[in-house]
Copies of this chain bind each other. A is one copy, B any other.
């Protein structure tokens, strides 16, 4: 497996585009991804009781129909808390795309992100679909336009693609995502779209995705707020010509590993581009009693407001990390814990068996001043490990969210 250029258009037979449709003031706000041939589709969705209309629409498509052809996405308005009217607009959007692509409306997925509670401007959306369909292109640039069009408070586009060989055939997986605030995925993340030309059954595809998001998108948090719109869609069109994956064989493992790479990169890109963030903050928990406990501990650290603020201040305030491990709900012996900080600038042990090592604050600050910072907690309880990703808490997070709607 190797990383290659591109995103959602990297895999054979996938086209995309991103445009300005007039929903936002002056930035691209609509995207489409479409396959030349029908795809099997897997999806994971928010666990929030308040589910946006497009989440409900996509759940219907993914759970009840065998194939999908395209995804229509808008940014600017979330189409959440919009009642029957909002759900009707999902249908209208899908119907318009279906008409132009010559398929059924139940082969069109939709996704929205932006302000909650407003109705989407359906006329602009339908016009946007009309504009996009003839522009769909398999170029790398078209994929990038789509990745840009789904951004809200994101500061950078988020794409990645990999190539692997299955049954002698080159298989490609590529993806894009958006997400910067209201990021505390539970089942999956804000919006993620992954395409592959692998031949794989719908059942195996969903299995691979559902397993993988537990270690990728579900392990990031920007602010602890689980969105109403979280959606990850994975489309596979079989055009690579590999022997179809229908069971958990070697090819499935190789595919799952490549998918994990793609999703991990996308998840980390989201965490590092958290609203107002100046640094990606990673927490690795090692030697925990179980994987489940390792995950709870790692997430507790990256979601701690006090720890996040300390990372912004490049302050090795390790008491806050031990405190966050302590209130996670997991039982452990605080007087056994070792803690390290690591970044491109080096690695330093901060506490040993629960107490200060007498480390150099100057060296710790240097390590914590990098763009990507890792805290490693050794629990000395067992052999399980987990990694979670977040970001620092900054003035800009407050600024962005105190007047997001204005």
Is A65 located at the chain interface by the 8 A CB criterion?
Answer: no
CB A283 to nearest CB in B, in angstroms, measures 15
Query: In the complex, which residues of chain B have a beta carbon less than 8 angstroms from the beta carbon of A309?
Result: 397-398, 400-402
- State A332–B116 Cα separation when bound (angstroms): 18
- Tell which of A155-163, A238-246, A314-322 binds the partner: A314-322
A 323-360 contacts with B by CB, 8 A: 323-328, 330-332, 334-335, 351, 354-356
**Minimum CB distance partner of A361 in chain B:** B405
A222 to chain B, nearest CB (A): 9
A404 at the interface (CB under 8 A from B): yes
Distance in angstroms between the alpha carbons of A115 and B397 in the assembled complex: 25
Judge whether B330 and A49 touch: CB under 8 Å.
Answer: yes
> Chain A 195-236, CB within 8 Å of chain B: the 1/0 string?
000000000000000000000000000011111100000000
> Could you give, for residues 385-406 of chain A, a 1 whenever the CB lies within 8 Å of some chain B CB and a 0 otherwise?
0000000011101111111111
| Among A16-24, A80-88, A105-113, A169-177, the stretch in contact with B | A80-88
A319 / chain B contacts, CB cutoff of 8 Å: 78, 80-81, 115-117, 228
User: A47 near B327 (CB under 8 angstroms)?
Assistant: yes
Is B225 touching A405 in the complex (CB atoms < 8 A)?
Answer: no
- Are B318 and A117 within 8 A (Cβ)? yes
- A74 in the interface (beta carbon within 8 A): no
The complex places the Cα of A47 from the Cα of B354 at a distance, in Å, of 18
Main secondary structure of the interface of A (DSSP, over half): loop
Any B CB within 8 A of the CB of A141: no
Does A181 belong to the interface (CB within 8 Å)?
Answer: yes
Q: A83-B335, A309-B400, A398-B398 are in contact. List 6 more A-B contacts (CB 8 A).
A: A49-B325, A51-B334, A82-B355, A116-B319, A225-B305, A397-B398
Please judge, given known A-B contacts A225-B305, A395-B398, A395-B399, whether A50 and B315 are in contact too, CB under 8 Å: no
Alpha-carbon separation in the docked complex, A355 to B50 (Å): 12
Contact of A49 among B182, B226, B326, B351 (CB under 8 A): B326
Decide yes or no whether A310 CB sits under 8 A from chain B. Answer: yes
Check A45 for interface membership: any CB of B closer than 8 A. no
- A interface with B by C-beta (< 8 Å): 47-51, 78, 80-83, 115-118, 181-182, 184, 186, 223-228, 303-306, 309-310, 312-313, 315, 317-320, 322-328, 330-332, 334-335, 351, 354-356, 393-395, 397-406
Most buried by B among A49, A51, A223, A317: A49
Q: Which residues of B contact A406 (CB under 8 A)?
A: 315
Name the contact of A402 in the complex, choosing from B47, B83, B315, B404 (C-beta under 8 A): B315
B224:A305 contact, CB within 8 angstroms: yes
- Is the Cβ of B50 less than 8 Å from the Cβ of A325? yes
- Within 8 Å CB of A227, what residues of B? 323
CB-defined contacts of A49 to chain B, threshold 8 Å: 325-328, 330-332, 334
Q: Who on chain B is nearest to A186 by CB?
A: B327
Known contacts A117-B319, A303-B224, A395-B395: does B401 contact A326 (CB below 8 Å)? no
Q: List 6 tightest A-B contacts by C-beta distance, closest first.
A: A116-B319, A313-B402, A50-B326, A309-B401, A226-B327, A223-B305
Question: Which chain B residues border A303 with CB–CB below 8 Å?
Answer: 224
Which chain B residues lie closer than 8 Å to A48 at the CB level?
323, 326-327
CB <8 Å contact, A223 and B306: yes
Q: In the bound complex, how far is the Cα of B393 from the Cα of A395, in angstroms?
A: 10
Beyond A223-B306, A323-B50, A403-B313, whether A83 also contacts B354 by CB under 8 A is yes
